[in-house]
Structure 1
Amino acid sequence: MSLNVELLEQSFEQIKPRANEFVASFYENLFAAYPEVQPMFAQTNMAEQRKHLLAALVLVVQNLRKPETLEDALKTLGIKHVNYGTMPEHYPAVGEALLTTFEQYLQQDWTPEVKQAWIDAYGVITQEMLKGADAVSA
């Protein structure tokens, strides 16, 4: 896994002071672009959900330098998401909403390099979560 760890850490540091707003905006962006996923959250406490997303992002960024820990955590997250009804086709929607939200919050600091760093990171996140999901389905 060859990720641009420095850029990921720096860009995440920038959104940290507004982390709660960031995760709220993420769900607004997700539901605006993909209204078909909104019913999946019908029984969900969204305040709790936002905390879970933030915790997952923190977990990813804190473990970028510990690939084994990160892979295990993401596989576990993938297993949990199978139970939530998450399908592989939902992952691109989430990735797109995440990138949109980073762009909103980083503004002029959302450079092509930072964007690519997050595209690569989300690719790894998806890959590892789906390994966990596949293990459950198998």
Structure 2
Amino acid sequence: MSLNVKVLEESFACIKPKATQFASTFYDNLFNDNPELKPLFANTNMQEQEKKLMQTLVLVIYNLRNLTYLKSLLRDLGERHIRYGTVQVHYPMVGAALLKTFEFYLGKEWTKEVKQAWTDAYAEIVNLMLSETKSEEEISELELLEQRRLDPIIVDFASTQPNATASRFHLKLLLIIFVLAGLLSVGLLYYHSSLTTGQQGGATPVRN
């Protein structure tokens, strides 16, 4: 990965104070230019989605100098996007909307150098998200195998309860809570790490 890290960091710092507006404008641009993508977000809380966009950008920018972690992060993100219904043809649409939004918020600071830096960065991000990413069929097969592995456990647990349907639901809910707790722990760990890095480097991490 050969990116203009300095330009990326400096230009991103310019839009951090307007992070909420930036994310909202990005999705406006995306849906206005590509209305066929809107159904993918039909059941999505867009305010939360906008926060996730900025959190992802923050993760990428803060880890441009930590490529091993960044590559792993982006490959995992690519697999999740396949589950959401994202296909390869969607990535250029997203990239165009992202560059359009940067141009709007950076104004005169949107120079040829900055545009090239973000164009290269997005291309590399997409490449990493797609590289070694399992196909949709492979992911579906893995999910089916995982469900088959869990089903006997759930059934055995439910069979000992007065209400099998309710018990099955509660166990699944418990599993979801464990997963969410794990994700929250990772998020808090990253937030603490970013605060430490910011204090050492004189930078202040974004807070949405």
Mapping 1:1-138, distance limit 5 Å: 1-131=1-131, 133-134=133-134, 137-138=137-138
Structure-1 separation of matches of 2:67 and 2:39? 34
Q: How many matched pairs?
A: 138
Instruction: State the AA in 2 paired with 1:130.
Output: L
| Superposed CA RMSD | 1.2
Mapped partners of 2:132, 2:30: distance in 1: 23
Unaligned 5+ segments in structure 2 are: 139-208
- In structure 1, C-alpha distance between the alignment counterparts of 2:136 and 2:69, rounded to whole Å: 19
Q: What is the distance in 1 between the residues matched to 2:135 and 2:89? A: 17
C-alpha distance after superposition, 1:99-138 (max 9, x if no partner): 0000000000000000000000001110011125336655
* 8 A Cα contact 1:78 1:132, kept in partner: no
Divergent runs of 4+, >3 A = 132-138
State how far apart, in whole Å, the 2-side matches of 1:87 and 1:31 are: 16
TM-score (norm 1): 0.96
The structure that has the greater radius of gyration is 2
Q: TM-score, normalised by structure 2?
A: 0.64
Larger relative contact order (Cα-Cα within 8 Å, sequence gap ≥ 6):
1
- Report the 3-state secondary structure (helix = DSSP H, G, I; strand = E; otherwise coil) of the residue aligned with 1:26: helix
Structure 1 residue runs of 5 or longer lacking an equivalent are none
Q: Report if aligned partners of 1:76, 1:132 keep a CA contact under 8 Å in 2.
A: no
Provide the rounded CA distance (Å) in 2 between the counterparts of 1:93 and 1:8: 21
Output the CA distance in 2 between the equivalents of 1:107 and 1:133: 36
Deviation at 1:76, TM superposition (A): 0.8
The answer (yes or no) to whether the contact 1:8–1:114 under 8 Å persists in 2 is: yes
User: What is the percentage of aligned positions where both structures have the same residue?
Assistant: 53
1:132 to 1:54, Cα distance in 2 relative to 1, 3 A:
farther
> Does the 8 Å CA contact 1:79/1:132 hold for their aligned counterparts?
no
